[in-house]
Amino acid sequence: MENEENAYKTDANAAAYRLMDETKGQMKKEAQEIAHMLNNPVFLAALMNRTVNERENANRLLKGIIERIDQKFLQMDERVAKLEERLKTQNRELEIGAGEEILLPKQDEDILGLVKRKGHVCADEVKREFGYKGPNAASARLSKLYQMGLLQKQQVGRKVYYKMK
């Protein structure tokens, strides 16, 4: 049995070596043919022609892609222009709307009049002028006018002063 296995291994090794030699020979032959073809000017011209054709095809494809990208950019530019125009229109409408008079309670109008006269006021000044018991009511009214966008707020130390916008 061992002899048969050794014989099989020997036959398998011999077959493998024969196959390797044949493959090696075929590869050498093909390499020589390629080397011979590379010396052939007709083959080189055909190879160069094929390379040029491939580049032309690639350039054509790239040109088409670039044209489509340019079209998309033009569409995007048009959309952006429309959006900008729409924003300008809305801003004009807001400015026109902002010019409309805001109806305020009498006390708030009086506070705005005080701010216009003095230039700037704090909650304590409003409290004294209008006879509020504490500064909270005056501060709340000034804060509300600030939130409505009618006054500017500026903190100086611990006091908050309000002035006209």
Q: How many residues does the chain have?
A: 165
CB within 8 A of 155, min separation 6: which ones? 161
Mean pLDDT of the 55-66 span: 96
Residue 89's pLDDT band, with cuts at 50, 70 and 90, is confident
CB atoms near residue 133 (< 10 Å): 8
Q: How far apart are CA 53 and CA 31, in angstroms?
A: 26
Query: Distance between CA 101 and CA 109 in Å, rounded?
Result: 12
Query: What value does the mean pLDDT of the chain take?
Result: 86
pLDDT of 35 reads 83
CA-only gyration radius of the chain, Å:
46
The pLDDT tens digits of the residues spanning 22-41 come to 999 999 999 898 888 888 88
Residue 132 has pLDDT above 90, yes or no: no
Q: Which amino acid, one-letter code, is at 23?
A: T
Q: CB count, 10 Å around CB of 15?
A: 10
pLDDT in tens, 4-16: 555 556 777 888 8
Phi, psi of 27, rounded to the nearest 5 degrees: -65, -40
**pLDDT band with cut points at 50, 70 and 90 for residue 99:** low
